[in-house]
Structure 1
Amino acid sequence: MSPNRQRASNSLFSAAGLERDAPHPLPDKLRPQTLSDVVGQDHILGLDGALTRMLETRTLGSLIFWGPPGTGKTTVARLLANATALHFEQLSAVFSGVADLKKAFDAARARRESGTGTLLFVDEVHRFNRAQQDSFLPVMEDGTVILVGATTENPSFELNAALLSRARVLVFRSLDWEAIEKLFARAEQVEGKPLPLDAEARSALVRMADGDGRAALTLVEEVWRSAREGEVFNAEQLQGVLQRRAPIYDKSADGHYNLISALHKSVRGSDPDAALYYLARMLEAGEDPLFLARRVVRMAVEDIGLADPQALVICNAAKDAYDFLGSPEGELAIAQAVIYLATAPKSNAAYKAFGAAMRVAKDAGSLLPPKHILNAPTGLMKSEGYGGGYQYDHDMPDAFSGQDYFPEMLGRRTFYDPPDRGFEREIRKRMDYWAKLRRERSS
């Protein structure tokens, strides 16, 4: 059927009242009709919200909506077109190619000639390759389209710099407890019946939605379908009926990196309780415990270092314990290592020293070590001064010669600066003593 005939058929369907009587999913029934109906995005749509201010000035530029699923990105784009009298055109980067883009651009140019602007909404815009993203630039610059792209991925990493420079990024937040409760109340009002849940089960349903409005309303429908006449579910029954428990996150997307970052920074900030919370979040979501064990080892060498040399030993032991015990018993070893790291003295001195040494090694090039520390296996090398004047440290007082081991052209450098805490307090004492001996013996 041609698009014109399809539209005509849909119009006749609506005119006959059949569409009104046809079953609609709850998310479709509760789809906001105005921007003020959208919940959970007050920082964008409230009195001082970014979009509110744009609409007050009657100017609208291209936008990138960045946020998790079910937060209203598509709905806001559609309502934005209505509020600005723009034609709403929608594409999905998953199903569209160059031919679809060209067709959309040509149609927008034709509308522009007749005095109608186009808001082109592109869902999953990050899935377009760089060349496809570049194709938007001319039509954005000449005003053929107002682009509104939606993405669940970080635009800084997934979108071209040229495209980002021509669009404003608006961040959509996961729906909080209050916003999800508003959706539940609206659903109850529209359906004319309460949710068959006790207070604890209702709270559990909010958690199951995990900030996704669409998921929240789908869960509400499942609850009503599952409840018998007069039945009221408690939290345990709800979990059994829905076969769903804790909220999950996409281990390949931002949720994964956000939580591992939160775990790492909680350890670095010496907060064992917060660190355990984020560890539990990731384990509950199905994260690979060995991935977490590897990250914990990384924390030991980056943030604890030589302030507590046992930190690395304990983290490696935790990894081995998980290998030996498996899940779930082995996860306790990882948790123990996390607590140890969070409560250990902190030092990034070794981490910084290594980075500084790497930079100097890269910049200074292939400098020859001083000849007195080079071996002289041949007569020629010995005649060239290789090994001449080398002092065997074990034969010296305090087992310390004080000789310079840096290349002559580089000069002496300082990379490692241990702080005066943890075990590194003892290391600093040794280094200060050796520095004193070095000065004395070099003079």
Structure 2
Amino acid sequence: MADLFDSDAKPEVEAAAEVNRPLADRLRPKSLAEVIGQAQVLGEEAPLGVMLSSGSLSSLIFWGPPGVGKTTIARLLARETDLHFVQISAIFTGVPDLRKVFEAAKIRRQNGQGTLLFVDEIHRFNKAQQDGFLPYMEDGTILLVGATTENPSFELNAAVLSRSQVLVLERLSLVDLELLTQRAERELGKGLPLNGEARDALHEMADGDGRTLLNLIEQVAAWRVDIPLGREALATRLMRRASKYDKSGDEHYNLISALHKSIRGSDPDAALYWLGRMLEGGEDPRFLARRLT
């Protein structure tokens, strides 16, 4: 007997659902070879490339800004090493949830399958919670891959760090962002209605964040325009992304250090750039004045 919900329109429904998925999800790489950027981590002679070729993947901490591929790379590592992928967020996961994750990983191990546990925002776990990972890392129940936007040396336990390799993921370059834009245009089946200058401005707005770029591309692709838009028209229609900056965290110290080095290196253009970044991010001008003096 046919099911009540069976319909000849199912393929069309599935196709519509596929089109309605966010572009960032539709373009998620299916292999490490498809990942754009991060050659310093994924190249043949880079840390992950060497680990995979030698079959000796260890626990990892990915340190980098949002939108550079931390989650995607972790998921693909699990696929390439035949490990079961489990993803949790330190923001929403408590001790009881962790116990369930570890118990499930134990059962998988008994059945001959390993577990890659990806922990987003791992620096949000307190010391006791981080210590809870250690016995399961040591006996091979889990292979831990943590992701953090904060300096692991300050935010993670020394015991966790000693059992992991920290890999730094960088913001996507303008060349990387252009490659991502071309991939998005192929997926959408059309080019963006932008001239060359506006296209460059779109990449600048993304500020090295691939996810942000794809979200912007979705907005731009939906516009109905007769002629390609220029930089000014793009700026009118889109809000520029807020600068990543916090006045007491890593970005504060990274940028003031960059400003110092630019001044000591007699590079006025770079010094003005870092000064502008800090002012735009909301830094206290008096702090900057003291430093300049």
Rounded Cα–Cα distance in structure 1 between residues aligned with 2:105 and 2:126: 22
Q: Given the alignment of the two structures, is residue 295 of structure 1 paired with residue 282 of structure 2, yes or no?
A: no
| Structure 1 equivalent of residue 282 of structure 2 | 286
Select between 104-113 and 18-27 the one with higher mean Cα deviation.
Answer: 18-27
Q: Given the alignment of the two structures, is residue 204 of structure 1 paired with residue 201 of structure 2, yes or no?
A: yes
Aligned amino acid, residue 149 of structure 2 = T
Rounded Cα–Cα distance in structure 2 between residues aligned with 1:103 and 1:38: 32
Q: Is the 8 A contact 1:249 1:256 kept in 2?
A: no
Alpha-carbon distance, 1:277 to partner:
2.4
Could you report, residue by residue, the CA deviation over 1:102-159 in whole angstroms, capped at 9, with x for unpaired residues?
1100000010000010000000000000000000000000000000000011101100
| Bigger Rg, structure 1 or 2 | 1
Could you report, residue by residue, the CA deviation over 1:407-435 in whole angstroms, capped at 9, with x for unpaired residues?
xxxxxxxxxxxxxxxxxxxxxxxxxxxxx
Alpha-carbon distance, 1:265 to partner:
2.2
Could you report, residue by residue, the CA deviation over 1:5-57 in whole angstroms, capped at 9, with x for unpaired residues?
xxxxxxx9xxx544442111110111000010001111111222211111111
| Structure 2 equivalent of residue 230 of structure 1 | 226
Rounded Cα–Cα distance in structure 2 between residues aligned with 1:217 and 1:270: 37
The count of aligned residue pairs is 281
Inter-CA distance 184–128: structure 2 relative to 1 (3 Å threshold):
same
Q: Is the 8 A contact 1:63 1:167 kept in 2?
A: yes
Task: Using structure 1 for the length normalisation, give the TM-score.
Answer: 0.61
2:54 paired residue among 52, 57, 71: 57
| Structure 1 equivalent of residue 245 of structure 2 | 250
Rounded Cα–Cα distance in structure 2 between residues aligned with 1:191 and 1:136: 42
1:265 paired residue among 232, 238, 261: 261
Q: Percent identity?
A: 60
How do 1:105-124 residues align onto structure 2 when only pairs under 5 Å count? Answer: 105-124=102-121
Aligned amino acid, residue 282 of structure 1 = M
Q: Given the alignment of the two structures, is residue 190 of structure 1 paired with residue 187 of structure 2, yes or no?
A: yes
Q: Is the 8 A contact 2:42 2:48 kept in 1?
A: yes
Structure 1 unaligned residues grouped into runs of 5+: 1-11, 301-443
Rounded Cα–Cα distance in structure 1 between residues aligned with 2:126 and 2:186: 44
Q: Is the 8 A contact 2:193 2:225 kept in 1?
A: no
Query: Aligned to 1:220, what secondary structure does the other structure show?
Result: helix
Rounded Cα–Cα distance in structure 1 between residues aligned with 2:214 and 2:87: 23
Task: Using structure 2 for the length normalisation, give the TM-score.
Answer: 0.91
Q: Is the 8 A contact 2:41 2:48 kept in 1?
A: yes
| Structure 1 equivalent of residue 85 of structure 2 | 88
Rounded Cα–Cα distance in structure 2 between residues aligned with 1:176 and 1:149: 23
Select between 235-244 and 140-149 the one with higher mean Cα deviation.
Answer: 235-244
Alpha-carbon distance, 1:285 to partner:
3.2
Query: Aligned to 1:170, what secondary structure does the other structure show?
Result: strand
Rounded Cα–Cα distance in structure 2 between residues aligned with 1:108 and 1:20: 35
Aligned amino acid, residue 230 of structure 1 = D
Q: Is the 8 A contact 1:109 1:144 kept in 2?
A: yes
Aligned amino acid, residue 87 of structure 1 = H
Q: Is the 8 A contact 1:86 1:117 kept in 2?
A: yes
Aligned amino acid, residue 289 of structure 1 = P
| Structure 1 equivalent of residue 171 of structure 2 | 174
Query: Aligned to 1:78, what secondary structure does the other structure show?
Result: helix
Query: Aligned to 1:106, what secondary structure does the other structure show?
Result: helix
